[in-house]
Amino acid sequence: MKGVSLAAVLLGLATALLYWQSVGHDFVNYDDDVYVTANPMVRAGLASESVAWAFTTFHAANWHPLTWLSHMLDVELFGLEPGGHHRTNVLLHVGVVLLLLASLVRMTRRPWPSFWVAGIFALHPLRVESVAWVSERKDLLCAVAWMLALWFYAGWARERRKGAYLAVLLCLGFGLLSKPMIVTLPCVLLLLDLWPLERWRAEGARTLILEKLPLFGLVGVSSCMTLWAQGEGGAIAALQGLSVPERAANAALAYGQYVWKSLAPTGLAVFYPHPAVLAGEDFSWFGGKAVGVLAGLLALSALALRWRATAPAFLVGWLWFLGTLVPVIGLVQVGHQAWADRYSYLPCIGLAIAIGFSVERAVDLGRLPRRPVIGAGLTSLVAVAFLTSAQLPHWADSVRLWERALAVTENNYLAHYNLGLALEEQGEAAGAREHYARAVRIHPGYGDAHYALGLLELRSGQLAAAERSLRAAVEADPALAAAHGSLGLLERQRNDPAAAIEHYRRALELQPDLVETRNNLGSALIAQQDFDGAEKELRLVLERDPDFVQARLNLALLHERRGDFARAIEGYRQAFRQGTPHPLAADKLARLLLAKPGATVAEKEEALELARYALQETGGGSAGLELLARCHAALGQFEQAVEWQGRALEAAPAARKEALGAQLERYRSGGL
């Protein structure tokens, strides 16, 4: 066993070294914002409110509280520095690999095929998505629970210790709180009872099934929670228009892809478009590929059954593979993908078991030569490690991730959309626009891409084009609250607050927690002089997000419009002092302090400092220069007032020059 221990150490080190390059990677713009970077609860760390939220939320269309707690713990330890989060993923993957090796050795008592299975699992390129993607922490946590359950179950099967069975239950519960993929574990344990534990013949199927009823009970409760969460989050409804034949056909194709990519792991992408979504795609159950792949799957299944006596590992491994993919194979469609590399994390262990232990069986029977088999096994480990090393850099950042997806897939509308987002974040508006446009050409019903294009056009002042894109977004996805909110912004730019209010209210009906949209609604209500309605909305914003400075500014503006200057001054002062001093709050507060009847010298001096700060932060401008001149004049500093008023006059548009010039002459004569 010393040799096995040394092999385990070497495998753990090789796995860590291979994936360590991901520690230098950034977060990506696909779910990492949902799970970490833009999630206020996770960003708060392990606060009591966040912990309670983790156990009660269906955010991200899942119920996985331990996954949320894991991300919160990383924030506590590393903040939002991505390297720490990636490091946790790598270490968890190493732990999964070593636990898999230990569990296989304990169950089979065959160390070297166990080592090969664990090695292929550890180093294979299909693992990259689960390890290099921070959002897939749930895969790793679930797998830790799975491997620990296998370890304890081997102890239960061999020694019948009640503590071991209780540990299996706890591990299953831990896994279910991390990712529902573990729901197939009780079925896999029944397979392991057939081989290598060989309990079916000795104890009978009835005993083994009854033994696992508590496990199936946990799975049943979790499955209900998962369906509820995914229904609430809209994940299941994403492709609800697919017919049963279309779902079944894609499931067959997906099984074929997982087998093929396990054997020839090239051309991997973060997203594979569903064939039934793509415009003009002929996707019929009888359309060719699906029937051929299904025939191949049935043939392999028939062979596995035929060889069950002489090669039980092949049957168990093959059924492990088929069975563990059932929750994610698309019969109940969740999301828009046809299949996903991350879904292979646990299932492809079954394929490795089927191959590794069947080959070892053939060697023991003298049907294959030992040394060439050992050489082939080691070569395969080196080969997959090389491919993984080449795959990992594609996950370094969002741009490289989506450029790779576009390079190896066709009609990938989601890749175009997300690459557009990444380019827009880098300030490359032209490139972003091109990719948004290509996304909607490929998939005209993709509301998010229409919305992103419309928002880009809105920011560039192309109101007509923006309206077309935003209305196309709403037509494609009537529940897209952000598009309604942006239509409200568009109407405000057209100076039609009544129309804007209608869109803002529709957005908030769909998604009440949009604090920015609610703030915009408050601003539009102020423009309509509905001060009571505006105050109600703005106070709701501040209840939900006390740090929302723009809402404080709008609330202060509301008091100013009402003529309540004392409350307006206090509001602007709060907005200015909250977090980083806000230049607009400084400007507004300075003007009110100057206009205040009976302003004291201290208040005038405060106004001067505020005006200086606002001017410094905004980079100048006629209005800011004029304000600074007024502040100096109010303090009797007419020489400085003349200087700043002269600068304001130089920077002013033609329509303002006469008024500013007249004021300059008054300052020169020592008057206000």
Selection from 124-128, 293-297, 646-650 with the highest mean pLDDT: 124-128
Average pLDDT, integer, range 155-160: 89
Which residue's entry shows tokens 């209608």? 502
Q: How confident is the model at residue 420 (pLDDT cuts 50, 70, 90)?
A: very high
Spatial contact of 611 and 583, defined as CB atoms under 8 Å apart: no
Q: How confident is the model at residue 253 (pLDDT cuts 50, 70, 90)?
A: very high
What per-residue confidence (pLDDT) applies to 281? 54
3-state DSSP assignment of residue 635: coil
Span 267-292, pLDDT tens digits? 999 999 988 776 455 565 555 788 89
What per-residue confidence (pLDDT) applies to 384? 98
Q: How confident is the model at residue 234 (pLDDT cuts 50, 70, 90)?
A: low
Domains of the chain by residue range: 2-242+259-394
Question: pLDDT higher for 58 or 386?
Answer: 386
pLDDT at 106 over 50: yes
Amino acid present at 338: A
Spatial contact of 187 and 202, defined as CB atoms under 8 Å apart: no
pLDDT at 50 over 60: yes
Residue 560, Cβ neighbours under 10 Å: how many? 20
What per-residue confidence (pLDDT) applies to 3? 72
Which residue's entry shows tokens 């005209």? 444
pLDDT above 90 covers a percentage of the chain that reads 85
- What's the token pair of residue 285? 């159950």
What per-residue confidence (pLDDT) applies to 239? 47
Q: How confident is the model at residue 222 (pLDDT cuts 50, 70, 90)?
A: confident
Question: Which is nearest to 29 in space by CA: 421, 411, 313, 367?
Answer: 421
Average pLDDT, integer, range 524-533: 96
Residue 113, Cβ neighbours under 10 Å: how many? 23
pTM: 0.89
Q: How confident is the model at residue 5 (pLDDT cuts 50, 70, 90)?
A: confident
What per-residue confidence (pLDDT) applies to 359? 96
Average pLDDT, integer, range 20-25: 98
What per-residue confidence (pLDDT) applies to 241? 60
Which range has the worst mean pLDDT, 94-98, 452-456, 611-615? 611-615
What per-residue confidence (pLDDT) applies to 61? 79
User: Backbone phi, then psi, for 470, in 5-degree steps?
Assistant: -70, -40
What per-residue confidence (pLDDT) applies to 238? 47
Q: How confident is the model at residue 149 (pLDDT cuts 50, 70, 90)?
A: very high
Residues with Cβ within 8 Å of residue 318, at least 6 apart in sequence: 300, 301, 304, 350, 351, 354
Q: How confident is the model at residue 297 (pLDDT cuts 50, 70, 90)?
A: very high
- What's the token pair of residue 178? 């991390």
Span 54-96, pLDDT tens digits? 999 988 878 999 999 999 999 999 999 999 999 999 999 999 9
- Could you write out the three-class secondary structure of 120-174? HHHHCHHHHHHHHCHHHHHHHHHHHHHHHHHHHHHHHHHHCCHHHHHHHHHHHHH
pLDDT at 585 over 70: yes
Cβ-based burial of 567 (10 A; exposed 0-12, middle 13-18, buried ≥19):
middle
Amino acid present at 635: L
Q: What is the CB-side half-sphere exposure of residue 391 using CA atoms within 13 A?
A: 28
Amino acid present at 544: R
Q: How confident is the model at residue 547 (pLDDT cuts 50, 70, 90)?
A: confident
CA 203 to chain centre: 46
Distance CA 630, CA 609 (A): 12
Average pLDDT, integer, range 590-615: 92
